Structure 1
Amino acid sequence: MRAVVMQDSQLRVDEIAEPVPGPGEVLVDVLACGICGTDLHCCAHGPEFNEATRGAAGVELMDLGQPVVFGHEFVGRVVSYGPDTQQNVAVGARVVAMPILLREQPVMLGFAGTDAPGAYAERMVLSEPLLIEVPDHVSTEIAALTEPLAVAYRSVARGDTTPGDVALVVGCGPIGLAVIAVLKAKGIGPIVASDFSPERRKLAERLGADIVVDPAEGSPFEQLMAAAATDDPAEMAPPTAVMGQLPLRPTVIFECVGVPGLIQQCIAGAAPGARIVVAGIAMGEDSFVPGHGILKELSIRFSLYYSPEQFAETFAHLAAGDFDVEALITGTVGLDGVADAFDRLKDNPHDAKILLNPTIGS
């Protein structure tokens, strides 16, 4: 079968062996797959990613000595089942799933080799217990947004957000935009969104941002403070030990860029008692001033991935129409167009989520 493989930071379309489902596994045709910013970073900075995962978890994310097949935001159509399967989902049905193979040594789909390809391929193998059937009323394109929305869903949960909060989303790339959509669905607001790109700010408004800010023209943190101002003591955030009671609603900041120095900007700009959720992944070292965070009694939380329950909850919300996210999808390419899509996503502010459809051009 055809697949896009990455090796030595280069992408190419190649012929690889079709995967064979093992016990408890199912073979699917790939119908759609989102091109994720993590894929771009892993392609350009694979050794740095491996160094980060080795330092945090003692394992390397990818075997860079062999070709890697990306693709972890997918929708598939069931083709056949392997042994020891329940087969509760009919052959021909569309499915989404967490990108993990539940083997004795679990496999992170989208970061493994050609023996367990991700969805930058015509077919892939999934673990049957993780399958979620896509109902007829949900389009394949919208279903392909489940995984990035689950990342955003967890980020919002990590912030312990409630409808009484005022939120600032720093960075309106795909994850920042997805965070805005989740915040909007949960009734949290006003939502302030910040991005240098006017195209991304327009997308943020379409997805639910109430106030958009160009950080080259004004401070998003000042806009957050203005949006959080209140004269009602019942709405005010709890007092902090040093700063006392301030006429502000509780605030939460989502850092969705991953540029060194931005965490300190969030700390410096945050209101006392604020929560900061870091969802952007910076590969290099970073630094901040602990005293600023201590004096303000800030909470800083890092967020990555999601639980199986959060993935399922995200899809349930998506299927129920709770997330208005169609504007996230800005293009579709075939396997031969993936390398060009990577280039577009690096520097084209008009693009947010480009989907891969392996049937195009085949």
Structure 2
Amino acid sequence: MRAVVARDGVVGVEVVDDPLPGPGQVLVEPLACGICGSDMHLVSTQAEMPDLVPPIILGHEFVGRILDNGPGGRGRFPVGSVVTSVPYLDTADGPQLIGLSPLASGGLSEQMVLQDRRLLPVPEAMIADHAALAEPLAVGAHAVAEAQMDTDDVALVIGCGPVGLAVIATLKAAGHGPVVAADFSPSRRSVAERIGADVVVDPGHHSPYRRWTELAGRELPSSPLLESDRRAHTVLFECVGLPGILAEVMNSVHAHTRIVVVGVCTEPDTVTPMIANVKELSLRFVFAYRPEEFARALDWIADGTIDVAPFITGVRTLEDAAKSFTDLRARERHCKILLKPGGEG
């Protein structure tokens, strides 16, 4: 079969062996699969350490059609069913991340193996491609759940890439508002507005913190010596994941702000803890999602609570993989590119 393989930091289409499902697994034909920031991080790491990161068939944001069951199994869903799943596959070495492990081939391929017990059915009335967005949307659902927001809280989302947009969409689906969003990219600001952000700010021209704190109300005293029975209503989601962003956020926010760090910074970074001490800031680092949050994200897409169509800025074939990775690194035009093994649709 054809598959998108990351090898020595280079992305390309190769002909590889067809995967074979084991007991409790199903063989699936991917219908669409998104390219994620994690994929790009993996390729960059592989380029830096080619001897340590083996070749990997990429793709963990997928939707597919069941082709067959593993030996001795009938499966929970009939052959031909359209399904998605959290990207984990059971192996002899334990659960492996699909598309991010050499032991679990991903959805940027003509065939893949999924765990039957983890499958979620995609409703017939739902656009199948949209189910591939359940995975990144679940990241936003988890971040918002971990923020433990009150109804009066005002959120600021820094960064409107796929993760930031997932946070915005989840905030609106959960009934939170107003939501302030900030990004340097005009195209990403436009998508943020389309999915429900109440205030969209270009940080190159205006401070995203000013309007946000105006909406949240008067700043509370930082010192606990100055008693106050009020709770700060400023909650910030950092969805960029680059060095220096967290320090800037800590310097800029009001006292008692809760900061939810969703962006994954893969490089060493520096912050000044005393700033967080004096302001009594709360930092919550989050990663991925729980299975029930993935299922909830799929339900939101299926019932129309969240329209994920604005997320998708390109639908291409597997042969366009290398160009798509290059385009996504530019950040200006694209948000989420889906690759379809069977061609565009």
TM-score bracket relative to the smaller structure: over 0.9
Counterpart position of 1:233: none
Cα distance, 1:65–1:42 mapped onto 2, change above 3 Å? closer
Residue of structure 1 equivalent to 2:197:
209
Task: Show the counterpart of 2:67.
Answer: 79
1:269 partner amino acid? S
1:275-294 equivalences under 5 Å are 275-294=258-277
Mapping 1:109-258, distance limit 5 Å: 109-113=98-102, 116-229=104-217, 241-242=224-225, 244-245=227-228, 250-258=233-241
In the alignment, what sits opposite 1:29? 29
Residue 280 (structure 2) aligns with: 297
1:33 is displaced (CA, Å) by 0.3
Partner of 1:327: 310
Deviations, residues 256-280 of structure 1 (Å, cap 9, x unaligned) = 1111111111111222221101111
1:2 aligns with 2:2: yes
Structure 2 residues not aligned, in runs of 5+ = none
2:322 & 2:223 partners in 1: Cα distance?
50
Determine the C-alpha separation between the residues in 2 that align with 1:183 and 1:156.
7
Quick one: structure 1 residues 170 and 330, their matched pair in 2 at CA, closer, same or farther if it must change by over 3 Å?
A: same
C-alpha distance in 1 between matches for 2:231 and 2:202 = 23
User: Which residue pairs with 2:54 in the alignment?
Assistant: 66
- Rounded to whole Å, the distance in 1 between the matches of 2:119 and 2:95 is 16
Counterpart pick for 2:257 among 244, 254, 274: 274
Read off the aligned partner of 2:114 and give its amino acid letter: L
The residue that corresponds to 1:56 in the other structure is none
CA RMSD for the aligned pairs? 2.2
1:90 pairs, out of 78, 87, 92, with 78
2 CA distance for matches of 1:243 and 1:84? 68
Residue identity in the other structure for 2:97? M
Whole-Å Cα distance in 1 between the matches of residues 74 and 153 of structure 2? 44
Cα distance in 1 for partners of 2:53, 2:254 equals 47
For residues 42 and 244 of structure 2, the distance between their equivalents in structure 1, rounded to whole angstroms, comes to 21
Tell me by how many angstroms 1:245 deviates. 4.1
AA partner of residue 188 (structure 2) = R
Using the alignment, how far apart are the partners of 2:148 and 2:155 within structure 1? 12
User: 2:279, 2:221 → 1: CA distance?
Assistant: 12
- The question of whether the paired residues in 2 share the 8 Å contact of 1:3 and 1:16 is answered with yes
Deviations 1:44-90, CA, capped at 9 Å, x for gaps: 12377x9xxxxxxxxxxx98453211100000100000034352211
Q: Is the 8 A contact 2:222 2:279 kept in 1?
A: no
- Tell whether 2:338 aligns with 1:338: no
Q: Which runs of 5+ in 1 are unaligned?
A: 51-61, 231-235
Give me the TM-score of the superposition, normalised by structure 2: 0.93
Q: Which residue identity is paired with 1:124? A: M
In structure 2, relative to structure 1, the CA distance for the partners of 1:33 and 1:146 (3 Å cut) is same
AA in 1 matched with 2:145 = A
Q: Is 1:163–1:186's contact at 8 Å kept on the other side of the alignment?
A: no
Tell me the distance in 1 between the aligned counterparts of 2:73 and 2:123.
21
Give the Å deviation of 1:242: 4.7
Offset at residue 331 of structure 1 (A): 0.6
| TM-score, length of structure 1 as denominator length | 0.89
**Where does residue 11 of structure 1 map in the other structure?**
11
Aligned pair count?
A: 343
Equivalent AA in structure 2 for residue 107 of structure 1: Q
Q: Matched residue of 1:184: which SS?
A: helix
8 Å contact 2:185–2:331 — kept in the other structure? no
Cα shift at 1:247:
8.4
Q: Which amino acid aligns with 1:74?
A: F
Contact 1:8 1:64 in 2 (8 A): no
| Structure 1 residues 10-61: Cα deviation after superposition (integer angstroms, max 9, x where no partner) | 011111011000010000000000111111111112377x9xxxxxxxxxxx
3-state SS of 2:284 partner = strand
Name the CA distance, whole Å, in 1 between partners of 2:187 and 2:250.
Answer: 27
Q: CA deviation at 1:112?
A: 2.2
Of 333-342 and 289-298, the range deviating more from structure 2:
289-298
What CA distance in whole angstroms lies between the structure 1 residues aligned with 2:222 and 2:307?
Answer: 36
